[in-house]
Structure 1
Amino acid sequence: MQIFLQGAGLIERLYIREVMIYADYNATAPLRPEARAAMLAAYELGPVNPSSVHKAGRAARAVVEKARAEVGAAIGSRAEDIVFTSGGTESLALAIQGAVAGLDGAATLIVSAIEHEAASKAAAHAGVPVETAYILPTGQVDLDDLRVRLAAWDRGLKGTPILVLMLANNETGILQPVAEAAALIREAGGLTVCDAVQGLGKVAVNVALLGVDYLALSAHKVGGPQGTGALWHRAGAPLKAVLYGGGQERGLRSGTENVAGIAGFGAAMSQAVLDLSRYVSLGTHRDAMEARLKAEGGVIVIGEGSPRLAGVSNFARAGFRAETQVMALDLAGVCISAGSACSSGKVKRSLVLMAMGADDALAESAIRTSFGWNSRPEDFRHVADAWLEAARRTVLKESV
């Protein structure tokens, strides 16, 4: 079925089987028309390499540097502190493993219990001890526990503490107190790696205000192309390459730059900043959807009392398994996810909810809906309609 979505004057064509409502922006956002235009313009340059010194190569380099400035401006940083990568996963690996390498292995990683696997697995393979930063039932990191831990930190034994903490959780949308946590780490002489992949373009992101040392970014979460990302790093923060080759990106990330992808990333970032207030306005429709689902479907909204991304809702109805919900809504023409969509298509119990103290029944029945730049108010109503109809055929009729 060919679906047409109107976006900023350009018709976006999605060839997805039987899809009517897309509510899975946290998995990937539709390509913004501004990003598409920038990519097409880059392709018009022809087969050029931005490392070549001839005229065509210099033109490609200009495209890359323009995008570098756009990404930097969007997060309040200098352009020269941006390193382009293939996506958020590589950015996190470079930050975590590159920081450890920059410290010659004299470090201990403190990874929050709700981090994306791109961060937790990069940490597990960094070759240094890994500790867990615990999560409160609110879904936010336990700052008191972190404070106590750092007060007793034995630098001679453990080396430099490196905190790995996301800005916004990919499953629940709950925002983390990154600035407060980074301040504690800084006072202890440590470093902070922040996964801002889900927060980018949805909340204001300023690296100076966050006080972090590394910030991982991804293009396709904000309406840019898949396969492009970036790492911001504070000037002077220890960082060594983990991928070797021709020495591109100031020797920190070798490999020929994806010129068109980078151009699309820069354009998407610029537009996302302009659209920030519109994204925030989605919270009104999200709240109305949740109120209806609670009243008519008896759902529990995860993180309802915590600060959350405006377009994200994670909810559960015990006894209504997540995979059943995903399939039922798919048949109704609605795209959603259960947990993270970056786990090879698997539907499994949410480790994020388990870290928040949820019981098995709740963790096995939680689903995520996420909306974004091209979502319409009626999309929230259609999602609620589809979920309630699916629930009536299963759990709700059993509770009457």
Structure 2
Amino acid sequence: MTKLVTYLDHHASAPLLPAARDAMIDMLEIVGNPSSVHANGRKLRAAIETARDKLALAAGTIRSRVVFTGSATEALTQAIVGGAQSGDVSRIVYGAGEHMAVVRAVEATGKAAKTIPMLTNGLYDLEWLAAEISAANDADERLMIVVQQVNNETAVIQPIADIEHLLAETGHLLILDAAQGFGKTQFFFDPSRVDAMAISGHKIGGSVGVGALIVKPAMDSAKLIPGGGQEQGRRGGTESAALIAGFGVAAEDAKTRFDAVRAAKLIELAQEGLLKITPNATIFGIDVERTGTAMCFAVPELKNNISLINYDLENVALSAGSACSSGKVSRSHVLSAMGVDDALADCALRLSVGWNSTGDDIERFLTVTKKIVARHQSTRGAAA
């Protein structure tokens, strides 16, 4: 029998919530197209609209602003590429630590672009951004500014309210990647200065294969897939009622039952235990506000590609940062943006928790870490 895996990689993908699975199975039992007018079609349509209501409530918006997509990557691409094509955008400014979904979408626009520098603590340099906004105002340029709410590797929360304040009454567009922040932070879309926000189903206990773009009127014309007029004409293609129904349940669960305090205590337990095992470990972003759902750390000289194999052999699932690099273990551009030297960045790992994580999971992580560190120290001592 295969041993149960201690799963500590929720930032890559959270396990499917049982209630979300049940909702999906119910929809899979119904044959039809949600655009059909017969009884089956109406049942599928009702499930989609119920899920839309749940997402709207969780995001602090109205249902007509929620556009279902195939992923947060698609949602970001629609906002960035579609927005650049349809809007009067002069150039794009985006964070140096953004997910590659943002980086590639910006490149696809063909627009001139600059990156917002990241400070050593993982926050963006808002003095630099303020100067860039001022220069754009003077030049009568319209910027598209793209930032993440929460960094997927370090869990550092970006100061979105401060960025909104910098924009004030300007006509610049602000796009928010909320894939890691949605359901883990308190953020209400409608009262914010954000023009479009991308969220993901599988980061909160829904299924892979579904996401959403939440838009304000300034982004209504940002379209990539015209199709047959689905999603109020903003995103064509027959909707998957099963995936969307599960997403709605997960969004409702995140809104009502996600325990941020419990998650933060688990991360605190992991941090304290790690530093007892190896006091020379570095925890990135530890001095600023984080979601309390992840810990990005490095033990000097303990390379992450080797560490991941050792953890995996012990049935502990971690990652070396973003999981969206075709399974490769590569150097983190986020840590590079923070000024972390290459040798230490090559040792970085990410532990992340979620709805079904327990103290036993953290204890198992620490037990295995102690074994791996001891083995490394023993090998290094023998070599000396």
Q: TM-score normalized by structure 2?
A: 0.95
**1:189 offset after TM fit, Å?**
2.1
* 2:83/2:222 contact within 8 Å kept: yes
Deviates more, 1:378-387 or 1:261-270: 378-387
Partner of 1:116: 99
Relative contact order higher in (CA < 8 Å, ≥ 6 apart): 2
Q: CA-to-partner distance for each residue in 1:170-196, whole Å, 9 max, x for gaps?
A: 111111011211331344321111000
* 2:266/2:358 contact within 8 Å kept: no
Correspondences of 1:236-315 after superposition (within 5 Å): 236-276=218-258, 278-297=259-278, 298-315=280-297
Partner of 1:64: 48
Correspondences of 1:313-352 after superposition (within 5 Å): 313-352=295-334
Partner of 1:366: 348
Identity %: 37
Query: 3-state SS of the aligned residue for 1:313?
Result: strand
Partner of 1:222: 204
* 2:136/2:142 contact within 8 Å kept: no
**1:51 offset after TM fit, Å?**
1.0
**1:279 offset after TM fit, Å?**
3.2
How has the CA–CA distance of structure 1 residues 396 and 283 changed in structure 2, closer, same or farther, with 3 Å as cutoff? farther
How many residue pairs get matched? Answer: 381
Confirm whether residue 150 of structure 1 aligns to residue 133 of structure 2.
yes
2:150 corresponds, among 168, 171, 188, to 168
**1:144 offset after TM fit, Å?**
0.9
Deviates more, 1:257-266 or 1:236-245: 236-245
Q: CA-to-partner distance for each residue in 1:151-178, whole Å, 9 max, x for gaps?
A: 1215757x31111100101111111011
Partner of 2:369: 387
Q: CA-to-partner distance for each residue in 1:253-301, whole Å, 9 max, x for gaps?
A: 110001100000000110111122x233221221122122112213111
Name structure 2 gaps, 5 residues minimum. none
Partner of 1:141: 124
* 1:201/1:222 contact within 8 Å kept: yes
Partner of 2:70: 86
How has the CA–CA distance of structure 1 residues 392 and 82 changed in structure 2, closer, same or farther, with 3 Å as cutoff? same
* 1:42/1:60 contact within 8 Å kept: yes
Q: For 1:123 and 1:19, how far apart are their aligned partners in 2?
A: 41
How has the CA–CA distance of structure 1 residues 34 and 205 changed in structure 2, closer, same or farther, with 3 Å as cutoff? farther
**1:209 offset after TM fit, Å?**
4.8
**1:216 offset after TM fit, Å?**
0.2
Q: For 1:129 and 1:58, how far apart are their aligned partners in 2?
A: 46
Confirm whether residue 126 of structure 1 aligns to residue 124 of structure 2.
no
Q: For 1:151 and 1:281, how far apart are their aligned partners in 2?
A: 42
Name structure 1 gaps, 5 residues minimum. 3-17
Query: 3-state SS of the aligned residue for 1:83?
Result: strand
**1:395 offset after TM fit, Å?**
3.8
Confirm whether residue 49 of structure 1 aligns to residue 33 of structure 2.
yes
Partner of 1:26: 11
**1:247 offset after TM fit, Å?**
1.8
How has the CA–CA distance of structure 1 residues 69 and 396 changed in structure 2, closer, same or farther, with 3 Å as cutoff? farther
Q: For 1:292 and 1:377, how far apart are their aligned partners in 2?
A: 12
* 1:293/1:299 contact within 8 Å kept: yes
Q: TM-score normalized by structure 1?
A: 0.91
Q: What is the alpha-carbon root mean square deviation over aligned residues?
A: 1.7
